[in-house]
Structure 1
């Protein structure tokens, strides 16, 4: 779960729980208030009934029942019972409600003076009344219809409010937190897009003194130091390579001149040939470093020349055959109505030819039978693939991850001369042409380089 989602979850959950607790407290408080209010009404009913029965001599049982009958709508399903000190029933209201009682209940009531409890939907109240003449007991049972309806309505209202409030809190918190962390999202996107070719990318700064702006300033300062260090390294490589070209060329020329002079012994000629070979290899290394440095510094412009890929490959094959006459190439193009137009791309002809020469030369050097296969295929309306396949020792997983790094050479390169820069240069050239290159092996015996050109 992302940080943004966690913050939304924690904040929304906190307010949802808080709102739920408040709703429960409100419900319990109103329920307690309803019970107290119902108790007061039942107590008032019991006291008034006993006073009419005991203190007003003009009121007999029949008149009291008549009064009680006229007032029955005040309390729903009411039942009132009055007992004397001998636990004899003196009065019973006219309604049909039933009160379950025992003499033990009346005895306990004398000690407690009064009680109140809820039985299902009924409220039950009992009280002990001590008059001057004798003691009396009153039991009143009634249904608090209005109070229960209000409590039920309140519960529905609280539930609906809780659901609506929870949804509102989640939406609002999601919106505000998304707005708050939007700079972090932009920060992450820009960091993701930073590569060695766009180290000039900087984060936006403002006059605010919040943590995000401070982080942006610190990041920009770090990027400036990295860019300065990286540019210094590339500049040194370029300058050193450029300065080394002249003395190496002189060494090669002087060695060739010495080899052309007569009178050398066979051993001397062997030494001179070895020196010439080493100087040539060193020259290739310096030229490769210089070309790579220029490509990474964007010093080699990509000119939009329209060129057919198959023609570039044929030219690269001919160039490679000059050094390796025994090269055998199986070339094929998949049949497609749009293939003629797809073969033409805008490119720097010289650079792309170098890339294909490197790949063909690499496939030849590491091939068991000196044979390679080149396949061109249109894989979609906007993309074209070029596969270069050779049969030979394949790379392991560790070597695959480092294949396009500078100076990387696999175990299969022990008996082959090279600088370890060819594939790196090829990748850079293809990158500047909007193409990608990847490596995989098939059947643990075929090395396959796949180039994807996007139009």
Structure 2
């Protein structure tokens, strides 16, 4: 059963329970108090009848005349007066058999009441001159009884009408409430492997749980897109990049086999084989790192990392590989609070990502001074790497994060086009972003943004 139908059914059931309780409440108290006025009229007649019939008073005739003239005669009104003992009251021969509790109340000296359908009784015990009497007045109340019956019909009709209305309102309510969810489902059905770049519009769902659900789907799509891109790039580029050094190695092996042992051609062939084997190892290592850095759902081990200390380590690491590099660290704008420069991260992966960026800056600037600036602002760390190198042509900027892509002006520099894509994947793993600002011939600035929390 769909959620909308479940909500509608539950809403209708709850409404039915509430309405039935309310109707029962109204019916009970209406039944209790609807005839209160009529009972009081009967009780007044009981007292008047006792005064006229039992008490010897010279004004009784006047009382009787006034009663006939000014006190209305109730429908089917009957009067019963008979002698009785205080301990054993006789049963009055009325139209209906009155219950024992009625006579018990009379015995206790109280005004007794009884109703059967539309026939009402009121009675009381009087003692006149040491003689006991029972006075009972009986009458019908057609108007009150009819009103109660009409109320019963109204409550029953209102109950069924309310159930129908609650079902309609519940259906509309569930349809309105689940409309954002249906929109999310429709949008998600449109997203397939070939258009993973599409995202849900979080703002259109307001700031409630639906927008949180949409944002969760977007985060999942980010991970899926990165994983798909990583896999596709790995498959599409690995065969091409690996085939070239393998072809060269095979050719050089044939030359070495044909050449005289120890000759110049033999030594050159072995050197070429060694060079291409090193190149092949580097490509394989980079491809493996690129594949493992994708959003594969695995939990990466993380630790508290101070970025200023990590930058010093990165400077030392790059200097060991490229002793001629000139890296200047700018830490002047760091706050005194240590927590402002500390984040939870996979230290080795993060070090690899930033090392690739700094190493590229040194290499493509012919080892001119490279500035690395660290800032902390609003729970966000930024690492800006600025070089004075060859820059990137405008037409190539959109492709620099594609695996194995190299800018058109990098032919004089050795590289494989894997460093920046690998860095981007690692930064994304840490929920960060990379921005780039460059001008061909003047230099490049790459800024890495990482959330502290």
TM-score normalised by L of structure 2 = 0.47
